[in-house]
Structure 1
Amino acid sequence: METFSTSRYFAILSFFILYLQTLTAYPYSSFSFKNFGKESNFESELALYGDAKVANDSLSVQITGSSISGAGRVMYKIPIKLGVGEPKQMLSFSTYFSFSLSPKNGDGLAFVMVPFGFPLNVFDGGSFGMLRETKMRVLGVEFDTSMDVKYGDVNGNHVGLDVDSFVSAKVSNVSPLNLVLNSGEKLQAWIDYEVGSRRFEVRLNKLGELRPVDPLLSYPIDLSRMWKEDEVFVGLSSSSGNSSQKCNVYSWSFKLRQVPHWMHSQPLDPKAFVDKTKAATLDKRSDCVLRVLAALIFGTGCGALGASVVLYMWTVFGKRRPVVPEENVVHPEVEYKKFNVVVDEAIEDGKQ
């Protein structure tokens, strides 16, 4: 019992030390701003570019205003390393933000990840305030309120994942959720990247509602192949296009998550899982049938053997009689004699 307790306490201490090392190694691995008022002191960690400014309510950031063809960005000042340690270990991350888009057909809003060296203060009229062309690898999650056929947009109310191009690698229609991106209503978005499954997921709902269980958009991607050991910047970018669409951000948080190496796994192939499940089911059924047949054969054999034993025992013991030599047979003391009976004729006739 003492050994078990010591081992348990040692394990707890080891995890605690590992947790402290993680905090020390990545002091800027996360940030959270519930609003952008003066008390939040967000300017110490976030930078505003282009038309982005603190809104009149002093609690939100207005990335694009009432001007046509406006563009702006909110970027986290500190570059992030998605891979740490030796050997290199990738990190998962999660980000959350609440926003609103006015009822205009602008570009909308995008969560962006750009490599170190990207010109954060340069705007050239590209969608979502991004550059039209760049040799740098860029990833973005667009909340698009305009439909552009050349980019493969399904409608003017969709979410897309852009990888090195404004042509989305994956697009999901928002309308089935009974949500309209440019309704002016406050919405909230959750974006997660899991290293274990190498999967990017996006969720969306009205502000104040619960986080959906099922993602609106899910896409397999290995970010380690995009940037390798390069540092990246994360931010929110928007452009109003040929409209005067307003884009406001009310809160934003970002968190890196270091997952132990032993918890990493390769992404699952659903088809392979289904095939294996079917094969396992067939094997179980075949095994079950064989077991039933074996049980029947065994039971029949046992029954036949038991019946044979019973018959044999009955033959041996059931018909046994006392057997003695012929000379020892005891005859009963009974003597037989012959008597002649004479009947009187008078008596026979009933006369005396």
Structure 2
Amino acid sequence: MKRQTMFFFKYVLLFLLHSRYVVSRQKDAAFTYNGFQGVDMSLDGVAHTTDNGLLILANSTLQQMGHAFYPHPIHFRNSSTGTALSFSTCFVFAMFSELATTGGPGVMFVIAPSREFPGALPSNYFGLFNITNLGLSSNHLIGVELDSIQNPEFNDINSNHVGIDINGLKSVQAAPASYIRDQENQHVNLSLISGQPMQLWVEYDSTRNQLNVTLSPITIPKPKIPLLSMNIDISDTIVDPMFVGFSSSTVSITVSHYLLGWSFKINGQAKELSLSQLPNLPPIGPKTEPKVFKIGCPVIAASLVLMSIFIIHYIVKRKRMFAEVLEDWELEYGPYRFKYKDLYIATQGFNHKELLGSGGFGKVYKGILPISKQEVAVKKVSNDSRQGMKEFIAEIISIGKLQHRNIVTLLGYCRRKGELLLVYEFMPNGSLDKFLFHQSTMEKTLSWNQRFQIIKGLASALLYLHEKFEQVVVHRDIKSSNVMLDKELNGRLGDFGLARLYGHGDNPKATNVVGTFGYLAPEIFKTGKADPSVDVFAFGVFLLEVACGRRPIEPQASDECIVLVECVFSSWNRGEILEIVDPKLGMNYEVEEMELVLKLGLLCSHSTPSARPSMRQVVRYLEREVPLPEMPASCSRRFSLSSEFFGNTMNLSSSIADSQLSGGR
């Protein structure tokens, strides 16, 4: 009896150890096949292996299909939580077609609850589905397709793509067959049916619910950036256990689909394949007669030498042409940096026909980006000084973060030799000053309602810059030529080339005097500090400019009206402020709104900074949330540029108007 009891306990112990081994093996299933010679695989259809270990999924067969599966079921679920486990797989494949345009549909890596697919059709159905079960959630199937036929019924993007399929053949994500070159971050196209061996990685991270698919030729290491990447929880799709393998089908007798090696692992990284141990592919393509080589080789060789010389010369010349300045610290600004080549193509080589305008800071060209087809305005700025370039571009990037409906979006920049190129959102109606002062070239006059909406939009933008952005932004060049009009004639503030940024609560540092003559606040010449009040002053001049249809300084006018602010103030002092209104408006304006704008313009352009309102107050005045305060009756010079100030600034006008961006810093 004692002996039988001992035997029983030994049997139970062996059973438990065996069960634990099996469970552990299932949870961490892993295998690596560098070729399939002697490998136990579950094959059906036309799938078979060759003597040298090549697995052929399809080979010169018409309307046939082949399946090749790992014979043992694999547990994809965590036994305690029921969620999907991470997995990783990679395999080397080759697809060849004698027809250059088709070779499909191709090969699909499959995770399915069974190795058998009753009723499945070949051709476009990959040997996995039929018309009745396509797309059903009960399929519990996950696949990565390598498809060389475009099927409109499955919304295929082209006839050479990689796609992620869930329970059907309408890919939830797809991309043209290609890989991303790590150093240049560029897509390099591949032809699936070229007959060249390629490697595909499929990796699922259960902690992030992320599925990545990466493709490359076997001569290229695994790219760092996957071709496809999507967030998906496969726990709802899989059942337990599942089978992994491949399915292939054909539509003609001109195709061959091969599998050279395969590696797989649950809960870990699949082992890399030893490419040198993979079986060789059979000869692919038509044989060439030796006579052709004997006769043609010398001619071809001579031609290749000449062509190589020409190509090398062309490449060197082109590289010099598109050479850019790129320093290590600029890598952090990657998303904001454009390639000079793209901007060159977009503007047709900075063609004079695409010139939108020019000024003291450079020329602006219209362009259409070659890939996105987005219309942009490209500004070429001369900037030979390298001092402070890092800080300057950092400010450009900060300004690029501005998000407001009344601010022209700065999309990015490009550096090339002594040039700095700024890329802006394109404004189809140009700048406001063309409507105000070049009426002969415009189709219509801006109505008062349109002008008033532009004024309110600009006020809202300045409030955002001064108080609501993450830093205080002082524009320093508010004027009508820097207010752009979109296709609906909404005002958008642009050209932040002179802008200064500093933290909320900090004091602005003194800087060079920059801006445009006629809009400069008097105190800037004494302190050199640009704070929001200098923008308020320029905004006040802008209000009078829009309402009166006159420039801030008109040297040919009468002595009283050379300076627009003084001219408006004189009219207000005489009680005849509406006499200064733009005659092109006639009487088509609301008197209350016009008086508000003119008086607010005088208040904002007050010579004393503390007497000017903030932009928050200005917005409230324009929205009529609060009444405009009464202005003193006897202050004939407090609201305007004095004659002495006018004389001094005349001497500075040329340097101010032609200030460079480097000086503006």
2:469 and 2:73 mapped to 1: Cα distance?
53
2:88 and 2:20 mapped to 1: Cα distance?
17
1:80 Cα deviation after fit: 1.7
Secondary structure of 1:35 counterpart: coil
Of the three residues 232, 245, 254, the one matched with 2:242 is 232
Q: What residue number does 1:16 align with?
A: none
Q: What residue number does 1:48 align with?
A: 43
Alignment check: 8 A CA contact 1:54 1:60 kept? yes
Q: What residue number does 1:187 align with?
A: 198
1:111 maps to 2:109: yes
What is the 5 A alignment of 1:1-352? 25-28=23-26, 29-38=29-38, 42-43=39-40, 46-55=41-50, 58-103=52-97, 104=99, 105-116=103-114, 119-120=116-117, 123-125=120-122, 127-132=125-130, 133-134=132-133, 135-174=138-177, 176-227=187-238, 229-257=239-267, 289=503, 292=506
2:23 and 2:245 mapped to 1: Cα distance?
22
2:119 and 2:55 mapped to 1: Cα distance?
19
Q: What residue number does 2:561 align with?
A: none
2:20 and 2:198 mapped to 1: Cα distance?
33
Secondary structure of 1:90 counterpart: coil
The residue identity in structure 1 corresponding to 2:47 is A
Secondary structure of 1:224 counterpart: helix
Query: Higher mean Cα deviation, 185-194 or 144-153?
Result: 144-153
After superposition, give the CA deviation of every residue in 1:27-61 in whole Å (9 maximum; x if it has no partner): 141111011123xxx11xx2111110013x52210
1:124 Cα deviation after fit: 2.8
1:243 and 1:222 mapped to 2: Cα distance?
39
Change (3 A) 1:200 1:87: closer
The residue identity in structure 1 corresponding to 2:248 is S
1:225 and 1:239 mapped to 2: Cα distance?
28
Alignment check: 8 A CA contact 1:127 1:241 kept? no
After superposition, give the CA deviation of every residue in 1:245-276 in whole Å (9 maximum; x if it has no partner): 110100001110169xxxxxxxxxxxxxxxxx
Alignment check: 8 A CA contact 2:60 2:252 kept? no
The residue identity in structure 2 corresponding to 1:107 is P
Secondary structure of 2:236 counterpart: helix
1:108 and 1:37 mapped to 2: Cα distance?
23
2:197 and 2:503 mapped to 1: Cα distance?
60
Change (3 A) 1:183 1:258: closer
Change (3 A) 1:84 1:258: farther
After superposition, give the CA deviation of every residue in 1:132-155 in whole Å (9 maximum; x if it has no partner): 143422111100011111111121
Identity of aligned residues (%): 27
Change (3 A) 1:73 1:141: same
The residue identity in structure 1 corresponding to 2:48 is K
Greater relative contact order (CA < 8 Å, ≥ 6 in sequence): 1
Secondary structure of 1:99 counterpart: strand
Alignment check: 8 A CA contact 2:117 2:129 kept? no
Change (3 A) 1:210 1:187: same
1:54 and 1:123 mapped to 2: Cα distance?
23
Secondary structure of 2:91 counterpart: strand
Change (3 A) 1:137 1:85: closer
1:234 and 1:35 mapped to 2: Cα distance?
17
1:120 and 1:151 mapped to 2: Cα distance?
20
Change (3 A) 1:87 1:191: closer
The residue identity in structure 2 corresponding to 1:170 is Q
Q: Give unmatched runs, 5+ long, in structure 1.
A: 1-20, 260-276, 294-352
1:121 Cα deviation after fit: 7.1
1:120 Cα deviation after fit: 4.7
Alignment check: 8 A CA contact 1:193 1:200 kept? yes
Change (3 A) 1:23 1:283: farther
Alignment check: 8 A CA contact 2:117 2:128 kept? no
Q: Give unmatched runs, 5+ long, in structure 2.
A: 1-18, 179-186, 270-400, 403-467, 473-501, 508-665
2:221 and 2:82 mapped to 1: Cα distance?
35
2:120 and 2:57 mapped to 1: Cα distance?
13
Change (3 A) 1:100 1:213: same
Query: Higher mean Cα deviation, 236-245 or 185-194?
Result: 236-245
Q: Judging by fraction of residues, say which structure has more strand.
A: 1
Alignment check: 8 A CA contact 2:88 2:268 kept? no
1:169 Cα deviation after fit: 1.0
The residue identity in structure 1 corresponding to 2:175 is S
TM-score by length of structure 2 reads 0.34
Change (3 A) 1:96 1:258: closer
1:111 Cα deviation after fit: 0.4
2:189 and 2:207 mapped to 1: Cα distance?
32
Count residues in correspondence: 245
Query: Higher mean Cα deviation, 248-257 or 171-180?
Result: 171-180
Secondary structure of 2:159 counterpart: coil
Secondary structure of 1:96 counterpart: strand
1:152 and 1:59 mapped to 2: Cα distance?
36
